[in-house]
Structure 1
Amino acid sequence: MELNYNKNNLSACTSILIGKKATIDGSTIIGRNEDAMASWPKHFVIHEHKEFDENQRYISKDNGFQMDLPKVRFKYSATPEWTDKSGLFEEDGINELGIAMSATESAYSNQRVLGADPLVKDGIGEESMLTVVLPYIRSAREGVERLGEIISEHGTSETNGVLFSDKDEVWYFESGSGHYWVAQRIPDDSYAVVANQLAIQEIDFDDSDNFMYHSEIQKFVSENNFNPYPETFNFRKVFGTQEFSDEIYSTPRVWWGHKFLSGVNSNPESEDLPFIMKPNRLLSVDDAQEYLASHFQKTEFDPLNEGSQSKRYRPISLAKTQESHVLQIRPNLPLEVGAIHWLAMGVASQSIFVPFYMGINDTPEEYKIGELPYDGKSAYWTYKLAGVLLDGHYKEFGKDFQAKQKDINITLRNMLNKYDKESLEIPEEKLSDFLTDSSNQMAKLSLDSYKELIAKLITESTDFSPLNFKTDLNL
C-alpha cells in the first residue's frame, strides 16, 4: 500500500489563552486544536533532560531550516507526527521548568507586506518551532524572545501564531512577514481566542511589560507606507487579511468563543471582533476544553443540524483535528504536579482530554504507536474509531456517547484529585515514578472505557445496513 507522507504546510487550528486571574483556581491556561488531516496519527512522548559536550545542529526535514542549539536541553513533552519523513511537528508541550508552548496557529499575511518582506523558504516553520524553542527557555517571556530572535535572524517560512505560558504569564506571538513579528501578554483577568487570522490589534511600543516586537517593525511599516490608520498601530490591520473567506472560515470561531466565554453575541462575520476579552465568570480548564470541542451547539450553524445554515461556517471541532491539547499550570502545587498536559487524541468533541502530569518520565505505550493504516493498539486510532462509528448515527448514539464521555471525565477528575493529594506525601526520589504510574492509570481508564464504547457501537450498528428489510411477521 502506497502512503502519502506529505502533510499540508499550514495547519488550520483554533487556540485559546486564559490569564491567571480569569481562572477559577489561578491557573494559566493555553490550548489549541491541531487541525490538518482527518487521518494522520499523532504520538505523545517525553524527551528527557540532556547535556551535550558541544552545541547540536538542528536541520529540518521539512524545509531545510537549520540552526545551532544549546548544549543543555531541558526535559519536555511533545506530540510529534507518526512519521518524521516530512519533519517532526512536535506541536505542544511543557518543559521541566513548567513552561508551556503550543505551535502553531496558522494565519495569513497580506500581499503588501509580503511584497516587501517575503516569507523565507528555508526559514523556521511550524515543523521546527517547538523543538528549537521549548527545551531551551526558562519563562514564557523568554520563549517570545528566543522565537523572535530566530525569526529576525533566519526568517520564517510561514505566517503563524504561537502560544506561551508559565505560572504567572500568558503570551501570544505572531509573525507577520518573513522577519517581522509582535507579541502581546494576555492580561491576567482576560482571555483570547484565535482562529487562523492575525489577531493582535493595537501595539503600545512604550509598554515593554505587555508587548514585544521586532526592533525595526515601526520603521519597516513607515518607510513602506503600510499603515492605513497612521494614528495608531494595529498589527492585524497592517499585516493581516480581511477577506470574505475570513468571514466564513475564521471569524465565526472567534464570535463563538466570545459568546461562550463572555456572553457577548456580536456578528459572526465581523472583521472587527476583539482579540482580548474579559470573561463573564471565572473560567476553568473545563471551559477551555469545551471551547475546543465545540461546534456552534444550540445555534443554526451546528453542522450536526439539518438546517440551511448548518454548513455555513467552519466549526471549531472538526474531523481534521489530529489532537487537541490544554496546557494548564496550577499555582498551588509543586511544579511536577501542578503542570498538566491535557491531551485529546483525534477529534476533541469525540475524544477525552486525559491529564498527564509534567513530572512523568514516560508516556503509555499506546500513545507512542500508531501509523497508517489503522492500528487498533494505538491511542490515536482508538479515539478516532469511536468517532468514525458515531459519525453515521448521531441521532441514534449521540446522547449515549455524550453520557459516556461525561462519566469518564468525572472519573478522571476524581482520580486526578486523589493523585494530587497523594503526591504531596511521596518522597522526592519516588515522585516521578508515582506521577508516571498515576498518569498511565488515567490514560488506561479512558482507553478501556472507549474500547467498551466501541464494542457497544459496533454491536448496535449491525442493524443499520441498507440491505435491511422490514419483514411482515405473518410471513
Structure 2
Amino acid sequence: MSCTTILVGKDASYDGSTMIARNMDSGSGEYTLKKMISVSGKNPPKKYRSVLSHVEIPLPDKALDYICFPNALNDSGIWAGAGTNSANVSVSATETITSNELVLAADPLVVLHKEGRTEIPGGIGEEDMVSLLLPYIHSAREGVLRLGELLEKYGTYEMNGIAFSDTREIWWLETIGGHHFIAKRVPDDSYVMMANQQGIDSFDLKDAFGKQESHICSKDLREFIAEHHLNLSYEEEFNPRDAFGSHSDADHV
C-alpha cells in the first residue's frame, strides 16, 4: 500500500484541532518495526550525520523535547517518521512524490557518490528530516523555513512531501529537484487527501515573494522556472503539478 497523507484544517475538524496523519508504505511481504521514543532537549547533539547519505549538518545549540516514531532497528538510520515537540508542533515526513526529467536535469538530486577516492556526501532525505526539524521549530511556518534552508544548502536525494502543523495552521511542503521547494498553507476550512503525487496544483508566486501569507518557496524559484522553461500552464495561475510533476496518470487524478 502506498503512503497516504491526511491534512485537516482547524475549521474542518469537529473540535477545532488541526490534524495531520500518514500511513507508511512497505514492500510486499515486509514490515518495518517502529517504536515510540521521547527525546530530551537537554544537552542536544552538536552535529547530525546521515547514515544513508553521510551528510554532516551542524545543529542549533538549543533544542526542544519531542516524541517521535523511529525504526526499531537502527541499521539504516533513524527514520523518525513523525512526531510532536514541546511547543505543540508536529511534523510528518515524508510522502514520496514525483518529478520529471526537465526538473531533474535543471536541478539534479544530491546523491552520495565518489569522485576518485573522495566521497561526496548526498543530501538529506526521509531518514533525516524529523530529527533535523522537530527539536528546533516553534511553529509550522518555522518548520517550512528551516527545511527550506536545509534543502537550499545541502540538497536532497529524493522527492518528498512534508506536513507541518501547530495549533493554528497546517503547511504542506514539496521538494523540487535537488535544492528547490514550494510550500502552501492548508486553508482552515479545508482538508487534503494526498497520495504519492505532486500534490500542489495552484501556487501564488506573488504571495510567495511578497507577504507569504499562504505560500513560501525557494528564493530563486521564479528564475529557476523561467530559465528552464518549466511553466507549462496556459492559464494565468501557475500550476506546480504541470511544471514539476511526472506528467503521468499519477499526477492527473
TM-score, with length taken from structure 2 = 0.90
CA distances 1:201-252 after superposition (whole Å, capped 9, x unpaired): 12112221100000111111101111112533211110011324x2xxxx7x
**Secondary structure in 1 matching 2:19:** strand
Are the counterparts in 2 of residues 176 and 240 from structure 1 also a CA contact under 8 Å? no
Does 2:43 match 1:39?
no
**Matched residues, number:** 236
Does 2:59 match 1:69?
yes
**Secondary structure in 1 matching 2:238:** coil
2:118 is aligned to none
2:223 is aligned to 219
Aligned-partner Cα distance in 2 for 1:229–1:163: 26
Q: Could you list the runs of 4 or more consecutive aligned residues of structure 1 that deviate by over 6 angstroms after TM superposition?
A: none
1:375 is aligned to none
Aligned-partner Cα distance in 2 for 1:242–1:77: 38
Does 2:91 match 1:101?
yes
Are the counterparts in 1 of residues 204 and 237 from structure 2 also a CA contact under 8 Å? no
Aligned-partner Cα distance in 2 for 1:112–1:72: 40
Aligned-partner Cα distance in 2 for 1:159–1:12: 15
CA-atom RMSD in angstroms: 1.5
| Counterpart mapping for 1:23-422 below 5 A | 23-37=13-27, 38-52=30-44, 56-121=46-111, 122-207=122-207, 208-229=212-233, 231-244=236-249, 246=250, 271=252, 273=253
Cα deviation, residue 57, structure 1: 0.9
1:266 is aligned to none
Amino acid at match of 1:58: Y
Q: Percent of aligned pairs with the same residue?
A: 40
Cα deviation, residue 176, structure 1: 1.5
Are the counterparts in 2 of residues 203 and 211 from structure 1 also a CA contact under 8 Å? yes
**Secondary structure in 2 matching 1:101:** strand
Amino acid at match of 1:235: P
Aligned-partner Cα distance in 2 for 1:141–1:75: 19
Are the counterparts in 2 of residues 182 and 212 from structure 1 also a CA contact under 8 Å? yes
Aligned-partner Cα distance in 2 for 1:71–1:36: 35
Amino acid at match of 2:200: I
CA distances 1:327-352 after superposition (whole Å, capped 9, x unpaired): xxxxxxxxxxxxxxxxxxxxxxxxxx
| Counterpart mapping for 1:450-461 below 5 A | none
Aligned-partner Cα distance in 2 for 1:42–1:20: 29
Structure 2's unaligned 5+ residue stretches are 112-121
Does 2:12 match 1:22?
yes
Task: Pick the structure with more helix per residue.
Answer: 1
CA distances 1:240-287 after superposition (whole Å, capped 9, x unpaired): 11324x2xxxx7xxxxxxxxxxxxxxxxxxx1x5xxxxxxxxxxxxxx
Cα deviation, residue 36, structure 1: 2.2
Are the counterparts in 2 of residues 16 and 31 from structure 1 also a CA contact under 8 Å? yes
Cα deviation, residue 63, structure 1: 1.3
**Secondary structure in 2 matching 1:161:** strand
**Secondary structure in 1 matching 2:11:** helix
Amino acid at match of 2:224: F
Structure 1's unaligned 5+ residue stretches are 1-10, 252-270, 274-475
**Secondary structure in 1 matching 2:205:** coil
Amino acid at match of 1:219: E
Kindly indicate whether structure 1 or structure 2 has the higher relative contact order, using CA contacts under 8 Å at least 6 residues apart. Answer: 2
TM-score, with length taken from structure 1 = 0.48
Cα deviation, residue 108, structure 1: 1.5
Aligned-partner Cα distance in 2 for 1:20–1:68: 35
Cα deviation, residue 73, structure 1: 1.8
Are the counterparts in 2 of residues 61 and 84 from structure 1 also a CA contact under 8 Å? no
CA distances 1:105-153 after superposition (whole Å, capped 9, x unpaired): 0012101110110011111100000001111000000000000000011
Are the counterparts in 2 of residues 12 and 105 from structure 1 also a CA contact under 8 Å? no
CA distances 1:78-100 after superposition (whole Å, capped 9, x unpaired): 11112112111001000001000
CA distances 1:397-452 after superposition (whole Å, capped 9, x unpaired): xxxxxxxxxxxxxxxxxxxxxxxxxxxxxxxxxxxxxxxxxxxxxxxxxxxxxxxx
Tell which deviates more after alignment, 223-232 or 30-39: 223-232
